[in-house]
Amino acid sequence: MKLADILSRADGHGLVSIRPMRPEDMEEVREVGQIAWSDMVMHDIGRKFRYPKRSPRMIEAYLAMEPEGCLVAEQGGKIIGSAFCHVWGKVGWIGPLEVLPDHQGSGVGKALLRACERHLEQRGCQVIGLETLSHIPKHLHLYLSSGYSPHSTVLIMEKMIDHEGAMTDEVEEVTVSSLPDVLPELVRLSALMEPSLNLSREAKTIVERHMGNVYINRRDGEVVGAAFLHTYQRGEEAAFSSIKAVLVDPRRADAASIYDSLLERCEGASLMMGKKRILIRFPVRDPVLYKHMLKRSYQLKGANIRMVKRGQYEERGTYHVASWAG
C-alpha cells in the first residue's frame, strides 16, 4: 500500500499527508507521543506531568514487523501525529495513535485511523480492533464515531516484586536456536485460544530483537502454555516489565497451574533484570481471573476498553492474556 500521496482534510493549518514512517522520523515520533500523553495526563490529574518518551527499541520493533503499517501525519514538513498497526495472524490491532494537542479534534486522528484500517485490511486481517483508556471522553468519541463497538473491559494490574518466584523444570526459556521448533507450537496454542490469532511473529520479534523473554511450559512432552514478557526498558526508561501475552491450552484441567508457573517465571526474570514492578493487562468477562490475580498479590491500577470494528473475536478459556495496548 502506498500512503505517501493520501491526503487528509485540512485541519486549519494546511493539508495533512499520511505516509509510512521512516527510521529518521524516530525522535519526532517519540516527541509527539510524549507531548500528547503529557497533555492528556495533565488534564486528567489537574497538574503538569512529563510523560516519558517511548523506547526507541519498541518503535524499531514495530517498524521491523509492519514497515507499511507504521504511519505519520505530516504537515509542512513537521510530524503532528503517528499510529502503529499490529498483525497477529488474522487479528489486526491499532495503537498507539497519538496527535499533538493543537491538532486534536481536527480530523488528523481519524485520517490516521482510516489509513491504519486500510493497511490491516490489505494484510488480510479479519478482526480489526484497538484498546483505549476507558475514562477519556475524546478517545471514546473518536473510536465510537469511527464505527468501533465496545467489546470488553481490559484490567490493568500491577505487582511489586521483591523476591523470585518458584522455578520449575516445566518452564523453559525460548532461545534463538529453539525458535524454529517452538513457533509451530505457538501457532497451535494461539488458535486454541482464538482461531484468528497467531502470536508466533510476536514471539520471534521478542527473542530475536532482545525485547524480553518468551517462556513455554511443557507437560508430558507437550507445550501447553507460553508467556511473552517485555523487559526492553532499561535503566531510567522504566522500573517495570510487562507481560504482553500468556497462552494456555483452554482444554487443560490444570490451566490455572500452567498459568501460575508462567507468571512466576516472568516475575523472577523481571526481578533479575532489576525491575521493581510487573504489569499485566487482560480482558475480563467474569471475575475469575481477576480474583486469581488478587491472590497472586496483583493490584488493580486502571482499566482500558477493548473496541472492535470488524470481525468476531472471542477468547476461549479463563487463564490467558493478549494485550492490544501498544
Backbone angles phi, psi at 219, to 5 degrees: -135, 125
CATH for 6-125? 3.40.630.30
Contact 120, 85 (CB under 8 A): yes
Instruction: Tell me whether the CATH fold assigned to 6-125 matches the one assigned to 157-322.
Output: yes
CA distance 251 to 5: 49
Residues 6+ apart with CB under 8 A from 2: none
pLDDT tens for each residue of 197-248: 999 999 999 999 999 999 999 999 999 999 999 987 554 457 889 999 999 9
pLDDT tens for each residue of 150-179: 999 999 999 999 876 666 779 999 999 999
pLDDT tens for each residue of 136-156: 999 999 999 999 999 999 999
Least confidently predicted of 9-13, 174-178, 181-185, 309-313: 9-13
Write down the pLDDT at residue 166. 62
CA nearest 232: which of 178, 275, 200?
A: 275
Q: CA 172, 64, 89 angle in degrees (round to 5)?
A: 65
CATH for 157-322? 3.40.630.30
Check pLDDT > 50 for residue 69: yes
What residues does each domain of the chain span?
6-125, 157-322
Write down the pLDDT at residue 239. 84
Least confidently predicted of 20-34, 42-56, 147-161, 278-292: 42-56
CA nearest 87: which of 67, 111, 108?
A: 67
pLDDT tens for each residue of 91-107: 999 999 999 999 999 99
Contact 55, 212 (CB under 8 A): no
Which residues on adjacent β-strands are paired with residue 78? 75
pLDDT tens for each residue of 267-316: 999 999 889 999 999 999 889 999 999 999 999 999 999 999 999 999 99
CA nearest 196: which of 311, 84, 305, 306?
A: 311
